[in-house]
Structure formats: C-alpha cells, structure tokens
Amino acid sequence: MKNGPLLFVIFTFGVLAVAGPLLAHHGQVEYEAKSVTLKGTVTKFEWSNPHVIISFAATADNGKSADWYAEVLPPARMVRAGWTKESIKPGDQVTLIGRPGKKGAHIMWLDYLVTPSGQKLGRDAGTP
C-alpha cells in the first residue's frame, strides 16, 4: 500500500477540481440585484435540466423588440411550485418579473411570471 497516500492526494485534487465549477454555476453574480418587469411573447419554452429556459420577445420603451431568455429552476423544483410543461406555450403574452443580466445582456433570473389568464407562477409555491 505504498501508493495509498498518493492515490488519496490525486482523488482529493480531482474532487476539488470538479467542486469549484459546480458551486460557481449556482451563483447569481451574473444578474443585477434589482428586479425589472418585462412584457413579451413566448417564443420557446424549454422544460429541461439543468434549468428551464423561457425565450421571449420583449418590446423596449423605444418600440424595438429584443430576444430575451429567462432562466428558472430545474423542472422538478418548478413542479413543486405549481408549474407544468404546459404552463406556457409559444405565442403566449406574458409578464416576467426578474433580475436582468449585467452588462446589458438580454437574460434574466426569473422571480415570477404572469400567464395570459393572470395566474402567477414563480420559483416557490408561495409566489405572490
């Protein structure tokens, strides 16, 4: 067992090399601290891991349309919050409230969404 300590060191560095990027992925540093409200038309609803993505076209104050992407939680967590993969569909007019990306990126971390019927869907079951 002369190689035991060496294998332990190699294993430890391997775990640390993988753990850092995983923790960094779950940070929210790429999003602003303040929330914004956008109205738009859903263009795509991706119900998949690791995060559900809502693509939508939002019209800015200047009248120009821009493609946006809202990142939400994994599908399993969204089901617990009341979502289904049929909650929204392309063509739906929705209102999205969330934290926009920094540096002018057209991305947001979704707090909640208001469906065409007025239903509020968020990341938690107790969404306002």
Pairing of strands 107-114, 93-100: antiparallel
**Per-domain boundaries in the chain:** 36-122
**87-108 tens-digit pLDDT:** 999 999 999 999 999 988 899 9
Task: Count the neighbouring beta carbons within 10 Å of the beta carbon of residue 52.
Answer: 21
Q: May I ask the CATH class of domain 36-122? A: mainly beta
pLDDT at 45 > cutoff 90: yes
Mean pLDDT for 75-98 is 95
The predicted pLDDT at position 82 comes to: 92
Alpha-carbon gap, residue 43 to 90, rounded angstroms: 5
Mean pLDDT for 95-122 is 93
Give the tokens for residue 34.
Answer: 């303040």
Q: How far is CA 31 from the centre of its chain?
A: 11
The mean predicted confidence, pLDDT, of the chain is: 83
